Structure 1
Amino acid sequence: MLQAGFHDVPAGHIAAVVTHLEMRAAAPVRSGAGAEGLSLLRIEEPDPDWYRALFLRVGGQDWLWFSRLLLDDDALADILEDADVHVYVLRRDGLDIGLMELDFRQPGACELAFFGLVSSAIGTGAGRFMMNEAIRLAWAAPISLFHVHTCTMDSPQALDFYQRSGFVPVRRQVEVVPDPRLSGLLPETAAPHVPILK
């Protein structure tokens, strides 16, 4: 456990406060405008290159999503082709604008492992549409727990959005990791709100 006070983060690293949230029963569907032209499609066998490209478009430039970029093709395919990992793409008028991943590998639970939109789709109602579908799909399985985590490097709207969707915060952690921009995994221009300390 960290003691109260300031703690140095090593040069070349980034730190985030991670909030874990849970839903113990299906939350009611929330109405929202903006569903016109939207479709959510499950991709049964996602191609790793397609997945990485969408992953980067949704979270790599603005929010420092990088965990899946550390995996080689075989390791990523092992996850994406697992029958208990459900990958969805949100499309509007034929364009891929969102990524959602439901992970049922823990018996009796579903993790909302990834959930995000390209920046142009934020605030259009697309997120509400996708979350309504996430809740419906997760609770259609025999689960007693639906959970997600977000951090201070995600969109500042994310935590409030999850709580309005019916998730309840249950735990907080601090995560310190090497800055993916310094290794070339992401461009140095990614997430300008998080300064690079070499």
Structure 2
Amino acid sequence: MSSAKSTSANEERPAQERPNLERPHPAGGAQASSLQSHQKAPARMPGEPQAGMPALQVTRTYLEMRDRSELRGAKLDDPLIRIVEQCDCPIELFRFLYVEVGKNYHWVDRLPWTDEQITDYLTQPEISLWLMTYADETAGYFELRKCEDGSTEIAYFGLIGNFIGRGLGKHLLTCAVEQAWADGTNCVWLHTCTLDDAASMPNYLKRGFRPFKTENYEVAIESQAAQQHGSPP
């Protein structure tokens, strides 16, 4: 299947209508199961502690899936759920999703991005962003990033607050993994940390991801008031 960015501007590509969604792809084989096997650093990185700001010790865990047969999907049979690629994602929507999904989990690295930076990022051919709506209301999203070694990172993934705890997370993650394999990859990987929602790690493990690396770091603690909460565009 052609890459996500080959579709025309403003075209939406429904995640559930890919004709080759179940076409198998080869596993990673003998490739080393380490962070070094993924040629790029993760897209989502924390802010560095600054002088005078309290710091928190955080553990980051990297997880991977090396064959699509390892996916233990958990989709909901709910016609109100829709997941659609944003091939020409509006800047306002990009900001809204980042802020609203990440505001409780210390997602801060993209808050200073200018309109130009967002546009430059979204037009990279290796990036695709998928929006989940529930009953036509924005519920969450995931972002896929193809890496130079042929792997795919689920770079961003999450739900907006009032949609958490309703089983939508396992559905969204299942669709993200299916999409990564459908677009062609030798490995799907992601990372989570102890700042994320407590349900994140169990969801990843239940879907078939396996941890392959952990690391500890310090992150600056910022006031929630310092983050501008978005409103639906």
* TM more than 0.5: yes
One-letter identity of the residue aligned with 1:31: A
CA 1:98–1:183: 2 relative to 1, 3 Å: closer
Gaps of 5+ in 2: 1-49
- Partners of 1:65 and 1:138 in 2: how far apart? 23
Corresponding residue of 1:4: none
CA distance in 2, matches of 1:166, 1:10: 40
Correspondence 1:43 to 2:86: yes
How many residues end up aligned between the 2 structures? 178
Matched, 1:155 2:191: no
* TM-score normalised to structure 2 length: 0.69
Contact conserved, 1:64 with 1:153, CA < 8 A, in 2?
yes
Residue 176 of structure 1 is matched in structure 2 by 218
Asked if the contact 1:66/1:180 (under 8 Å) is kept, the reply is: no
**For residues 156 and 120 of structure 1, do their structure 2 counterparts lie closer, same or farther at Cα, with a shift above 3 Å needed?**
same
Matched, 1:17 2:46: no
- Residues 34 and 11 (structure 1), Cα distance of their counterparts in 2 relative to 1, 3 Å cut: farther
Question: Where do residues 69-84 of structure 1 align in structure 2 (5 Å cutoff)?
Answer: 69-84=111-126
Q: Does residue 58 of structure 1 match 2:101?
A: yes
Q: Does 1:117 align with 2:159?
A: yes
CA shift, 1:92, in A, is 0.6
The within-5 A match list for 1:62-141 is: 62-141=104-183
Amino acid at match of 1:146: V
The CA distance in 1 between the partners of 2:182 and 2:190, in whole Å, is: 17
Moved more, 160-169 or 30-39: 30-39
Q: CA deviation at 1:155?
A: 0.1
**Cα distance, 1:183 vs structure 2:** 9.4
CA contact (8 A) 1:44 1:87 kept: yes
1:90–1:96 Cα contact (<8 Å) kept: yes
Percent identity, please.
Answer: 24
What residue identity is the alignment partner of 1:142? G
Cα distance in 1 for partners of 2:127, 2:176 equals 13
Q: Which residue of 1 aligns with 2:3?
A: none
Aligned 8 A contact 1:110 1:138 in 2 = yes
